[in-house]
Amino acid sequence: MAAALQSVNDVEIDPSGIFKYVLIRVSQDDDSGAVKDIVRGWASAEYHADIYDQVSASIEKLGLHCECQGGGRINHNSAKKKITVYGYSMGFGRADHEITTAILKSRYPDYSVTWTNEGY
């Protein structure tokens, strides 16, 4: 992977709470085929699109391309070391929570990370 793609953090979420998140596929604007899925979420975002708009602007400044793969919600309980991924985005649809969970598990290996398609 190119340095720009490697420089993008896999996960940037709030340290605790319940908040919206988006799953974003980042790729190089060339024929290399290099891609990376990232998770972004924070409570300050009123809409999933607010998260995507902010993240996509910073990623595109690196010369990379991004595409939202969907969204949902994250319940991050740092005290109990537990993360639950669930729900969907009205604008982007449901993210593949299995992919999101795998990314979160690599960032939080000592956490219990689970997902469900229930809830909004």
Per-residue pLDDT of the chain (120 residues; tens, 9 = 90+): 478 899 999 999 999 999 999 999 999 877 777 899 999 999 999 999 999 999 999 999 999 999 999 999 999 999 999 999 999 999 999 999 999 999 999 999 999 999 998 877
Q: Is 68 exposed, middle or buried (0-12, 13-18, 19+ CB in 10 A)?
A: buried
Give residue 36's pLDDT.
96
The residues facing 67 across adjacent strands are 25
What residue has token string 């902010």? 54
Domain 3-115: assigned CATH number: 3.50.20.20
* Residues annotated as catalytic (active site), given as ranges: 48
